[in-house]
Chains A and B, each alone.
Chain A
Amino acid sequence: MLSAGPTPRVPLDTWEFVITTETGAEYRWSWSELMALPQETPQVDIHCVTRWSKLGTTWQGVSLDTLLDGVDTDADYVMAHSYGGYTTNLPLEDLRGGRAWVAHTFEGEELPGEHGGPARLLVPHLYFWKSAKWVRGLRLMTTDEPGFWETAGYHDYGDPWREQRYQGD
């Protein structure tokens, strides 16, 4: 369990998830609206950049395909923003195709704050620092920008199978 700072405590009655497009258009979901969307239960392997992997983990959450459906954008990149200020950048394409979720449940239990609850991004095919804890929104971008660890030297993409840990890997 890695963390770059104190655990933010986000009450569910004020929690929201916001997708902001490159033109400034906003798409918002409250907690109850998120829970009313179709739920999926992905079983995935996760890979941390500090060289551990956890196989066969079970999550529950809403697919980014569902959240991005109807969002009008020409963006190629995304900056994920978290409560607490964390950011991480990803290609938008990597959030589509049944490969990414806003997850709120882990192994049948609500996601503890220390693990990113109430909800975290889950992008298991990339190193886990891309799966932003305490996610509060996505900013869609036409050009790539580095996030919190990426500005400090970590890889902009972070493919664990190519061991893309640091810039230049």
Chain B
Amino acid sequence: MTEMSFLDGNMLDGPLRELFAVDVSGATGRCENCGVVGPMGTLRVYSHAPGLVGRCPSCAEVMLRLVRSPSWARLDLRGTTFLQVPVPLDQPHPRPL
């Protein structure tokens, strides 16, 4: 019997396209558990499961869970402190007053 394999986080772009206007694999994320900061495309994604589970490449804690039912998608990011997404200046974005 072989060890369960995982996919790299670049595969998240397709499943998350329904939720985000950007490719999440290009975003930078911080692991809530170990604090490592890196591209979400480097997550280890376990897809042979009731949903997608993205684990930190450094400490293996869960950073992301995505469950898709026939009528909704739920993204749980409690293991991710922040997502930093490249946003060019010519796009509207929130500014401090």
Contacts and interface: CB of A to CB of B under 8 A. Distances in A.
Interface string A89-132: 00000000000000000000000101000000000000001000
B89 to A, nearest CB: 35
Contacts of B72: 153, 166
A3 B69 contact: no
A7 B55 CA distance: 13
Contact of A5 (B2, B53, B67): B53
B4 interface: yes
Interface residues of A, number: 21
Contacts of A154: 50-51, 67
> Does more than half of chain B's interface fall in helix, strand or loop, or is it mixed?
loop
Contacts of B55: 5-6
A166 B69 contact: yes
B3 A7 contact: yes
B22 interface: no
Contacts, number: 61
A5 B46 contact: yes
A6 B56 CA distance: 12
Interface string B1-33: 111101000000000000000000000000000
Nearest to A49: B50
B21 to A, nearest CB: 22
Nearest to A115: B1
B50 A7 contact: no
A12 to B, nearest CB: 18
B61 to A, nearest CB: 8
A126 to B, nearest CB: 13
A90 B22 CA distance: 38
23 contacts: A1-B4, A3-B49, A5-B4, A5-B60, A5-B62, A6-B55, A7-B3, A49-B50, A50-B50, A85-B61, A85-B62, A112-B1, A114-B4, A129-B50, A151-B76, A152-B74, A153-B69, A153-B72, A154-B51, A154-B67, A166-B67, A166-B69, A166-B72
Given A152-B51, A154-B67, 17 more contacts: A1-B48, A2-B48, A3-B46, A4-B53, A5-B4, A5-B60, A6-B3, A6-B6, A49-B50, A114-B2, A114-B3, A129-B50, A149-B67, A152-B67, A152-B74, A153-B72, A165-B69
